[in-house]
Every structure is written in structure tokens, then in C-alpha cells.
Amino acid sequence: MSFGMKLLIGLIAFLGFGVAGIHYDVFNQLPGAKGAKTVTQTLQASVTKTLHDANHDGVTVSFSGQKAIISGEAFSKQQFEEIKEIVRTSKGAGGVIIGGITAVDMNGVQVAKPVINPDWIATLGADGKMVVSGYVNNKADQLLIREQASKLFAEKFNDELKISSGAFVDAVPQMVLVLISLKQLDTGSVVLKDQHFSLNGTATDKQKAKKIATAIDAIGGGFTGLANITWPAPKPNEFGIAVDAGKIETAAKCQELFSEALIKNKVLFESNSAKIGEKSYSFLDFLAQLSAQCSAFSLNVGGHTDNTGPREYNVHLSNLRANSVVNYLLSKGGNSQQFTASGFGPSQPICQQNTSQCRAQNRRIEIIVED
């Protein structure tokens, strides 16, 4: 036998012995050596970690020799291909001797079909717990929503989000705005469907409700929004008037409040004088506050007297008293352009009987709201 033939036979034997050693753990006991089982375990651990780091936790990997077998679910065809490429390249091209991945079997991976007419729901319970459910477009959107919800609600965040390719593309900024809005409510729920956010909830007061409703109504980004937020009815104050904080938007509501306040309470003056009695100061302070809430409307302060004494004197006195009230309201920060004063004397009685009780009713201050 020639030297060349002997060399070829020896090389073939060496390679065969090497392959057998790797795949049957013959060399496992040698320092630095790796058998087939060790190589498989190393590959599986490495690929599993790589998939996890890339947020592909919906699939698992096993090995048959040097072939990676993937099973589970991909949210889209794009994710399917990403998983395949990550597994294929996670340990290099490999080969039969060095123990790398030689093939990737993706037959066990199902590509989820897009959900028809998906929704996205965020619900804040009375216990402060936030549940976010429904669908987002991809894994990145899911992680962003999870991150923001965790910051806002910490351990009270319950994540039930799923992924459906094409669901609410580029909606994350609006979803985050919704979560921030819900954080400010007592309870609430938002449903996103067909590019429209619908919010229903309860707030502590009217001002907060309006602020949140304004943000939802102008949500933008190709989405529309509508908020329906209720708040507890205000409790009557010391003067028996229940009024929400913040601006009052209609002249009718302002008129209702001024009329109720001045029926239940009287502005008192010293006898035959325009000097306001000290007992009326706190009530006038409330009227000043109410005037500021009705700053969009003009207010005519009218003075009225009974029919005792000369008419000309009563008209003059009623005018002085109306101006005293206006000056008091201005001293509390009122706008001079909002107020006018009128003295009607005894010409507009609200009680026609000639009794002391009737005359007391006719001596009054009224405020007329002009739109």
C-alpha cells in the first residue's frame, strides 16, 4: 500500500473518530472537551437567552443534534422571520465538527392571524388598580405601554395586553395620554375601537373633569376621542348655595345662583344709610367669588327699598346702596367693567301687602346677569 493511500486512510479514521467522540461523549472526560450532549445544552441555553433578550418569549427551542427545533406562536410573519434569523445566527454558522447550528426547523411555529376589529381597553377600579387589555400592534408597543403603566400605577398594574399585527398602528402616544388621564380620575374606563377613544369616569370635581375631557377630545394622531366624566354634586356652603369650583359657562346658571343666594340671604345696611352692616361681609365675599366665576357676563346690581317715605329719597338711597355693594365687590378684586349699579327705589316690589314683613322683603339687593 502506497504512502499516500495510508495517509488518506489515517485522515478518514481521524475524522471518523473525532465525530464519534463528539456525538457520543467519548471526549467528555478530557479537559476542555465537549461531547454532543454538552454542545446541545450549551446551544439551547444560549439560543433561549438570545430569544428572551430579543423579547421573543412566545417560542421555545429544542435540539435534535445540531438542528434547532422552534415551537410556539409568532404574532406576525415579520416576527416569524426575525425568530428564524436570530436562532440561525445565535452561535454562528456552525458545522458537524465544531457543534454549531446547522439547520432551523420552524414548522412548529404558528403565525397568528390578525384580529378582526380589535379593541384596546384600560380600566381604573375604585381600588386604584389599572387593568390594560386588548391588542397592540407589536412587541415594542406592548413593552412601551407596560413600562408607562408600571410607572403610573406600580404594583397596581395588571397587564392583559396581547399582540395583533396591524392593531392600532402608532397609537402608543395616545394610549399613554389616556393612562395619564385615568390616573387623575377616581374611577374610569377607556375603550379604543375603530380609531376612537371613548372615556367614561368619575372625577373629584368639575375642574378636573373638564381638564381631562379637553385632553381626550383633542387626542390627535389620527384618532378621535370623547369623554363622559361625572363628579359629585357640590355640597351647600354656609349660605345654603351649592356651587362647583371654576368658571360658570352659562348666564342662566349664574342667574340661578345669584337669585338663590339673594333669596336665602340679605345684604344688610344700617338704617337709612348705604353703609353695609358687618354681618353681611362674609356673604358679600361669597358674592365676590361667584362674580369671578361668572366673569364672562355683565352684572347689574340693583337696589330696592320699601314704599315708606318720599319716592325720590328712596330711589336715591337704593342707588347708593347698590353702589356700596359694587364697591365692596371691586375691593375684593372684581373687574369694574363687569358691574353696573341701579337704584329702583320702591318701584319693583316683590310683596304687595302693607305689612312690616312685606316691607322687609321689598328692601333688598338683586343681581341681574346680562349675557
Q: What is the CATH number of the domain that holds 195?
A: 3.40.1520.20
Q: Do 93 and 154 touch, CB atoms closer than 8 A?
A: no
Domain boundary residue, one of 230, 263, 292: 230
* Mean pLDDT of all residues in 316-345: 98
Residue 236 lies in a domain: no
Residue 323 lies in a domain: yes
Does one domain contain both 274 and 320? yes
Does one domain contain both 99 and 138? no
Q: In the structure grid, which three cell numbers stand for residue 39, read together?
A: 454542545
Does one domain contain both 208 and 304? no
| pLDDT confidence bin for 23, thresholds 50/70/90 | very low
| pLDDT confidence bin for 8, thresholds 50/70/90 | low
Distances from the Cα of 312 to the Cα of 132, 325, 344, 346, 353, angstroms: 73, 20, 10, 10, 21
Quote the pLDDT of residue 26: 44
Quote the pLDDT of residue 325: 98
| pLDDT confidence bin for 100, thresholds 50/70/90 | confident
Quote the pLDDT of residue 92: 55
Of 56-70, 229-243, 344-358, give the lowest mean pLDDT range.
56-70
Residue 235 lies in a domain: no
User: Which residue has better confidence, 239 or 103?
Assistant: 239
pTM over 0.85: no
Quote the pLDDT of residue 212: 97
Residue 309 lies in a domain: yes
Nearest Cα to 97, choosing from 39, 48, 44?
Answer: 39
State pLDDT tens for residues 267-278: 999 999 999 999
- The whole domain housing 195 covers 119-230
What is the end-to-end Cα distance of the chain in Å, rounded? 119
Residue 244 lies in a domain: no
* Mean pLDDT of all residues in 273-301: 98
CATH number of the structural domain spanning residue 28: 3.30.1340.30
| pLDDT confidence bin for 202, thresholds 50/70/90 | very high
Q: In the structure grid, which three cell numbers stand for residue 320, read together?
A: 347708593
Provide, rounded to the nearest whole percent, the portion of the chain with pLDDT above 90.
66
Residue 243 lies in a domain: no
Using the predicted structure, report yes or no on whether residue 95 has a pLDDT greater than 60: no
| pLDDT confidence bin for 29, thresholds 50/70/90 | very low
State pLDDT tens for residues 172-192: 999 999 999 999 999 999 999
Residue 34 lies in a domain: yes
Q: Number of structural domains, the chain?
A: 3
Quote the pLDDT of residue 30: 41
| pLDDT confidence bin for 65, thresholds 50/70/90 | confident
Amino acid at 283: F
Does one domain contain both 89 and 126? no
* Mean pLDDT of all residues in 288-312: 97
Does one domain contain both 341 and 272? yes
Residue 356 lies in a domain: yes
Q: Do 19 and 97 touch, CB atoms closer than 8 A?
A: yes
Nearest Cα to 369, choosing from 256, 215, 242?
Answer: 256
Using the predicted structure, report yes or no on whether residue 17 has a pLDDT greater than 80: no
